[in-house]
Amino acid sequence: MAVDDLVAELTKELGEEIHLSDWLTVGQSMINGFADVTLDHQWIHVDVERAAKDSPFGSTIAHGFLTLSLIPNLTGVVDPSKPAYPDLKLAVNYGLNRVRFPSPVPAGSKVRTRTKLAGVDKINDECFQVVQEVTIEIEGQGKPACVAESVLRYYF
């Protein structure tokens, strides 16, 4: 399918929810692994005993950037067995327009994403860009963990 046709098709979906992910558990081992990779070992993330006693959240919490980094997986962008579009060669994370972390993710929580299509633009005959409004929900909580505008480029 040509880039022009895909852009025209997607333009009709602007403002609509285009994806709802499965739930994913954010466990302490995931949080510890992220701390090791980023060298961010702040006690609120990795010291379970202290966090239970001294944290206003009653437990350790995921790093905000860990929560943010789950977006590609939860939105299905990185699943090679399910390309987003026919004949897609490459999907690239082009950046973020806006990110907020309204609520922390306590260790052991389940999160999922709801994704709305916020924008679509043709870059050239082989590429178009989409802006997705991604909301990361926490199971059982009314306030989301993260709301971000993710910008992706698709190459054909």
List the chain domain ranges.
Answer: 3-155
Domain 3-155: CATH architecture, name and number where available: Roll (3.10)
What pLDDT is attached to residue 83? 79
3-state secondary structure of 115: strand
CA distances from 57 to 38, 109, 140, 152 (A): 22, 12, 15, 34
By DSSP bridging, strand 17-20 and strand 24-26 are unpaired
Tens of pLDDT, residue by residue over 21-58, are 999 999 999 999 999 999 999 999 999 999 999 999 99
Predicted structure pTM score? 0.91
